[in-house]
Amino acid sequence: MNIFRFAGDFSHLIAILILIVKIWKTRSCAGLSGKSQLLFAFVFTSRYLDLFHFISSYNTIMKIFFLVSSYGTVYLMFFKFRATYDRSHDTFRIEFLVIPATILAFLINHQFSFMEGCREGALGQRTNNFWRIIRNILSLNRMKLRYIRYQLKPRNTMITSNKTIVIKIIIICNERYASDIPFDNGESDFVAVCSQMIAWSFSIYLEAVAIMPQLFMLSRTGSAETITAHYLFALGTYRALYILNWIYRYYTEEFFDPIATVAGVVQTVLYVDFFYLYVTRVIRGYKNLELPA
């Protein structure tokens, strides 16, 4: 982990803590968009379907925190302090965000590109061949599995471009052999991994625009409390720092994730006007963030 990702995660953590403290301390969720909080709950739910797959203590703790805090915020806004929720101004149609994100997740994800499919044929012959390889991997015995791991070299561009799914499939194989679980439901494992990849892509697309109901609400009310402005600034800073993280990883690890990068840029651009107002008004000591007339 590099400093930019750590700083981004810390900024995200601070943003959520500011939000929860604001609601709990004031006993009110005035000025906050419940629809944005619902979208963030959808984002974390679909992203962390692999919650019980251990990578590191840090990773697991952060996943649990984001899940618990997002649903906790939804509970506070829609149940405990629902009398203070400003429904009259929180009117953004979130289906206009959820539906496109869902469509994009199916058409463009790490395992299948719709445009690539069009170039390669009706359904993308290259992609179909790759999935056939994966289905075959699921039925390999232990000796053949060792061989296929040996064959996963950078020279095989088809495998390299889909290395994430290959690694996940091999992990499934190894776990089954280690626990002596009968390897008789390979197809269901295959579907589960594919579903997880689509869900992850959905979470990335949706997170990029999940703040729009909050920004729309801000434009309708014309102002926001200072603490709400701090929350939005920390949330926007988190994604901006992640862009620096991706740039750093590109030059140090030759890692590039076009889906996350493009979505992250879109998400950061949505905050540009707010960043300007935050710097020119909140930091200069204004009690509330007031939008220009």
Q: Distance from first CA to last CA of the chain, Å, rounded?
A: 44
Reported confidence tier of residue 283, pLDDT bands at 50, 70, 90: low
Residues 6+ apart with CB under 8 A from 257: 246
Contact 209, 101 (CB under 8 A): yes
**Rounded distance between C-alpha atoms, residue 28 and residue 20, angstroms:** 10
Position 234 pLDDT exceeds 70: yes
Count of C-beta atoms within a 10 Å radius of residue 199: 17
CA torsion through residues 173, 178, 179, 183, sign:
positive
pLDDT at 136: 56
Q: How far apart are CA 88 and CA 144, in angstroms?
A: 62
CA proximity to 244, closest of 229, 221, 264: 264
The domain locations on the chain are 3-110+187-283
**What pLDDT, in 10s, does the model give residues 69-116?**
999 999 999 999 999 999 999 999 999 999 999 999 998 887 654 433
CA angle 189, 190, 194 (to 5 degrees): 115
pLDDT greater than 70 at residue 132: no
- Predicted model pTM: 0.76
- Distance between CA atoms of residues 5 and 217, nearest Å: 30
Which tokens in the block code for residue 176?
Answer: 């089954």
Q: Residues of the chain with pLDDT > 70: what percent?
A: 68
Res 171: pLDDT: 53
